[in-house]
Amino acid sequence: MSIVELVRLALSRIGSSRLRAALTMLGVIIGVASVVALVAVGQGATSGITARLQGLGTNLLTVNPGSSTQGFTRGAAGTATSLTADDANAIAALNGVAAVEPEISSQQLVAAGSLNSTTSIVGTTADYATVRAFTIWQGSFLTPATVDAGVSVAVLGATTADDLGLGASAIGTQVTIGGLPFQVVGILQAKGSSGPFSQDDQVLIPMATARHYFVQGDTIRSIGVSVATPDQMDLVKAEIQTTLEQRHGIAAGGTDDFTITDQAQLLSTVSAVTTTLTILLAGIASISLVVGGIGIMNIMLVSVHERTREIGIRKAIGARGRDVLAQFLIEALTLSLLGGMVGIVLGVAVSALIGAVAGWGFVFNPITPLVAVLFSLLVGVVFGVWPARQAARLDPIVALRYE
């Protein structure tokens, strides 16, 4: 018997008991749909997080002060006041460093007309946009000239501008920061991040200006370093470490009073975590696929029992054991495959919906449905073989007598 004949037989059988077939397939449908949807959710989350991290700046190294120690009490990381503008200049002079931006910051009230917002005021240099991968939406960024002159100009983050009711027409107008007048020269393109540490909610002003009005002393909060090419990351990181250790008088192998954070490292850690989560989700979803398979086996066993007489007749008129085996196996496979296809459509729809709600868009990986279909076929074979063997082994005499 050819496969075509067997599939035709299976389809006509499924067609003659549609409700039962639909209920049997439901298990596989839910299983496949949840595998497809959850894997898509995992991959969507991964690509969303990765995109956001890459948005922080490519080839980025961040140097932060270490923890301060007062008496015997060690403070939190970043509390030390060990980094200076000279450190930033020394790093800028290293090989493989494309750009450097030192930052200092202060929380201040920003006001425009009747609207105001308390946000982070960052004093930095013209390289900030390059290192942190910001693009300007309106106006212009801080220029080396304005930074050196220490004039009162400000570049607003997208969220901050929004909060203050400022649009494209705000370029050239005045806002007050901590009660002092600043001229708005530019508004940044939004990066789309949100939450309390949003990169879109800040105001950038020249380093010297911030130092003059808001931040005392000569220490800096962090130094962002953009490395020329990705393969130089480790080299530059080592160079920065050596340079700063020398400048701070720390013996090699001693406790550093600064930390260097590698963007790529963070990225690979995050993607390792999300990959594990995706596998976990897929694993949990697979359980429902197995349960669906058991549903198919259950129905096929009932079906073999109900159709004992049919099996006897078929054997009497010339069906071999393997013909009966093939008939029941193909029937189970057809059920699981049909269920798998419906499941894929459902899963893709659900993942598109979740993607739209969560905001990472529609992530479609053609591998997932392929794997899901193969898996549902496997389920059909694994859970279809046993009932089919039961059918094939029936003694025709016993089967014909069966009522």
Contact residues toward another protein (CB under 8 A) are 1-2, 5, 16, 309-310, 312-323, 396-397, 400
Q: Any residues with CB less than 8 A from the CB of 75 and at least 6 apart, and which?
A: 67, 68, 69
Minimum CB distance to another protein, residue 16 (Å): 5
Minimum CB distance to another protein, residue 320 (Å): 4
Measured from the CB atom, is 10 or 240 closer to another protein?
10
Minimum CB distance to another protein, residue 3 (Å): 13
What residue type is 391 in one-letter code?
Answer: A
Measured from the CB atom, is 237 or 314 closer to another protein?
314
Degrees to nearest 5, angle at CA 122 with 127 and 82:
85
Cα distance from N-terminal residue to C-terminal residue, the chain: 28
**Residue of 337, 193, 280 lying closest to 202 (CA atoms):** 193
Minimum CB distance to another protein, residue 294 (Å): 27
Measured from the CB atom, is 74 or 309 closer to another protein?
309
C-alpha atoms less than 13 angstroms from C-alpha of 177 in its C-beta half-sphere: 27
Minimum CB distance to another protein, residue 395 (Å): 8
Minimum CB distance to another protein, residue 384 (Å): 20
CA distance 29 to 341: 8
Would you call 177 helix, strand, or coil by DSSP? strand
Measured from the CB atom, is 179 or 403 closer to another protein?
403
The H or E element spanning position 247 is helix 233-248
Instruction: Please check whether residue 336 is in contact with residue 19, taking contact to mean a CB–CB distance below 8 angstroms.
Output: no
Q: For helices 308-316 and 263-306, give the axis angle rounded to 10 degrees.
A: 70
Measured from the CB atom, is 74 or 305 closer to another protein?
305
Measured from the CB atom, is 91 or 319 closer to another protein?
319
Minimum CB distance to another protein, residue 22 (Å): 18
Minimum CB distance to another protein, residue 329 (Å): 16
Measured from the CB atom, is 13 or 221 closer to another protein?
13
Tokens at residue 163, please? Answer: 């909060």
Instruction: Please check whether residue 365 is in contact with residue 43, taking contact to mean a CB–CB distance below 8 angstroms.
Output: yes
Tokens at residue 340, please? Answer: 């798998």
Measured from the CB atom, is 378 or 400 closer to another protein?
400
Strand partners, 225: 61, 100
Measured from the CB atom, is 308 or 376 closer to another protein?
308
**Residue of 265, 255, 218 lying closest to 102 (CA atoms):** 218
Instruction: Please check whether residue 25 is in contact with residue 342, taking contact to mean a CB–CB distance below 8 angstroms.
Output: yes
Minimum CB distance to another protein, residue 349 (Å): 35
Measured from the CB atom, is 74 or 393 closer to another protein?
393
What is the 8-class DSSP label of residue 314?
H
**Residue of 326, 344, 345 lying closest to 385 (CA atoms):** 326
What residue type is 120 in one-letter code?
Answer: S
- Cα distances from 240 to residues 96, 371, 381, in angstroms, run 11, 46, 60
Tokens at residue 111, please? Answer: 């006001």
Minimum CB distance to another protein, residue 318 (Å): 3
